Amino acid sequence: MFHEYRDEIHALKMNNAHFEKIFNEHNELDQKIKNAEDGIEHLANTEIEVLKKQKLLLKDEVYAMILEYRKAHKNS
């Protein structure tokens, strides 16, 4: 996710506990969804949709934090 922001993600994960938490939670949800879609984990379609919506909300928050970080460190 957001490979083009690798440096910003690394810096945020090292210096912002909330960012690290939501970034990791996003990745855990992503894996859980993949496992369900691959039949490894059994979830109802409605449960998968809820997880996808949660994942999207986290992704939006991660992206907003990345953009905020870039703006704050633009001239650094």
pLDDT in tens, 15-73: 999 999 999 999 999 999 999 999 999 999 999 999 999 999 999 999 999 999 999 99
> Shortest CA distance to 52 belongs to which of 67, 31, 66, 38?
31
Q: What is the 3-state secondary structure (H, E, C) of the chain?
A: CCHHHHHHHHHHHHHCHHHHHHHHHHHHHHHHHHHHHCCCCCCCHHHHHHHHHHHHHHHHHHHHHHHHHHHHCCCC
Domain boundaries along the sequence of the chain: 3-72
Q: Is the pLDDT of residue 76 over 70?
A: no
Pair 5, 67: CB distance under 8 Å: no
